[in-house]
Amino acid sequence: KKKKRRRRRRGRRRRRRRRRRRGRRRRKEEEAEEDCEPQVSYSRIGELVKTELKKDQVCFLSAHSRYLVLGMQSGQINICDTLGNIIKHYRPHKNAINDISIDVNGDFIASCAKDDGRVVIRDVFQDTDKVHSFHQEKHILTVSLHPNYSDNNNTFVCGGMNQQVLERTMGYFRSETNILHCGEGPIYCIRRRKDIIAWNNDRGIKLYDTSNRKPIAAVKRASERANPSDPFQNRCCLCWEDDDTLLIGWGDWVKIAKIKSVISVNGAVSKTVDICGTFIIDYYVCGIAPFGENLMLLGYLDNEEENDNDSF
């Protein structure tokens, strides 16, 4: 009996020591977080945007160095200055905005919406619209303008529930539509950089070279803990850091893909993809962008896993 009591006392002392160590470690981590300087500065959005949000909801946000673009649940698009004040607004769609694409110069904005089968390209400064209807594709989920659309490269790419990646080029008298890919499930996100187009479907991410009309490679979808029925947990985010680097955020993982040129024995040049970075995170990616030498992620925590509503 005495031995049992001693063992119990020793066990209680060990548990108390562990709790103290954990408490000290937690306090040190909290102090270290408090000592870290914030990486970004924050400011409140303009009063007009806050008034608009009382009547409508934001479905999609895209940023350009000259302005911000908010796609709303009602199908309206608000163009805001960098302080968040609305400077222009128009309503190209009647349903919720699915995706927004801006050319490099910020002269044109392309948008698509739920269940209307249209891509609307807006000349921001002339306030004119060009409407493109796709009768075979009623559910367009994503659109991407040619980066140099304002420099007479009148091409855009779109895709959706019809499982096709469509490239449309506008000429003086007529437009031409090409199918770059079909099958393998709906197309959820498309992003273009010069001649390279990246998109994702249920199987993974595809990269396509428009200069030779050939696919480059496919990046398989990583295994993750996301709930397949939750659209936010399964949202794929693609962002080009530069002409050769694609940032991928999907579920709770992030990958960095590098495009490299390879010269074969006969002198032909082809492109390959090298995954130079992969890591798992503790939350679900809703947005990804380069931030100097680092990455900036927008994400959220599952309420079932965390009691607080911290955002990143």
Residue with tokens 């000349």: 123
CA 118 to chain centre: 21
pLDDT at 34 (0 to 100): 57
Over the stretch 10-38, which tens digit does the pLDDT of each residue have? 888 888 888 888 777 777 766 665 556 66
- Show the low-confidence residues of the chain (pLDDT under 70): 1, 29-38, 46-48, 135-137, 223-233, 302-312
Strands 269-280 and 253-263: antiparallel
d(CA 259, CA 216): 9
Q: What is the DSSP string of 77-138?
A: EEEE-TTS-EEEEE---SS-EEEEEE-TTS-EEEEEETTS-EEEEEETTTTEEEEEE-TT-S
Torsion of CA 183, 185, 186, 188, to 10 degrees: -110
Class of domain 47-187: mainly beta
pLDDT confidence of residue 310: 45
**Cross-strand pairs, 188:** none
- Which residues, in sequence order, are CB contacts of 71 under 8 Å at separation 6+? 58, 59, 60, 61, 62, 77, 96, 97, 98, 99, 100, 111
Residue ranges covered by each domain of the chain: 47-187
The predicted pLDDT at position 147 comes to: 92
